[in-house]
Amino acid sequence: MVEHAPCSVAERIREICRYIEDHSDDALTLDFLASKAAMSRFHFARSFKAVVGVTPKRYLAEKRVEGFKVGLRGARSVDAAVYEAGYGSPSRVYERAAGRLGMTPAQYRASGAGVAITYAAIETPVGLMMIGATDRGVCFVQFGDSEAALAAELHREYAAARIEPMREPHDAQLSRWASAIAEHLTGHRPHVDLPLDIRASAFQMRVWRCIQSIPYASVSSYGEIAAAIGLPGAARAVARACAANVAAIVIPCHRVIRRDGDLGGYRWGLTRKRALLDRERAGKARETGSSARNSVP
Let me know if 253 is a catalytic residue: yes
| HSE-up of residue 139 (Cα within 13 Å, Cβ side) | 28
Superfamily the domain 9-109 falls into? Homeodomain-like (1.10.10.60)
pLDDT, residue 57, reads 87
- 279 in Cβ contact with 187 (< 8 Å): yes
What are the helix (H) ranges across the chain?
A: 9-22, 30-36, 41-52, 56-73, 78-84, 90-101, 105-109, 147-157, 172-185, 202-212, 222-228, 235-243, 270-295
- DSSP string over 208-264: HHHHHTSPTT--EEHHHHHHHTT-TT-HHHHHHHHHT-SBTTTS-GGGEE-TTS---
Closest by CA position to 28, among listed 50, 48, 4: 48
- Report CA torsion sign: 194, 250, 256, 183: negative
Q: Considering the entire predicted model, what is its pTM?
A: 0.63
- 116-185 CATH: 3.30.160.70
**Which sequence spans correspond to the domains of the chain?**
9-109, 116-185, 202-285
Q: Please determine whether the domains at 9-109 and 116-185 fall in the same fold group of CATH.
A: no
CA–CA distance from 212 to each of 153, 159, 199, 247 (Å)? 24, 28, 16, 11
Options 17, 210, 242, 253, the catalytic residue: 253
Measured CA to CA, the distance from residue 193 to residue 183 in angstroms comes to 12
From first to last of its 297 residues, what are the pLDDT tens digits of the chain? Answer: 444 444 688 888 988 988 888 787 677 899 999 999 999 999 999 998 888 877 888 888 777 766 545 544 444 444 444 444 444 444 444 444 444 445 555 555 555 556 789 999 999 999 999 999 988 889 899 999 999 999 999 998 878 788 999 887 777 889 999 999 999 998 888 888 899 888 777 788 889 989 999 999 999 999 999 999 888 889 999 999 999 999 999 999 999 999 999 999 999 999 999 999 999 998 888 766 654 444 444
Can you name the CATH fold of 202-285?
A: Arc Repressor Mutant, subunit A (1.10.10)
Q: Tell me the three state secondary structure of residue 291.
A: helix
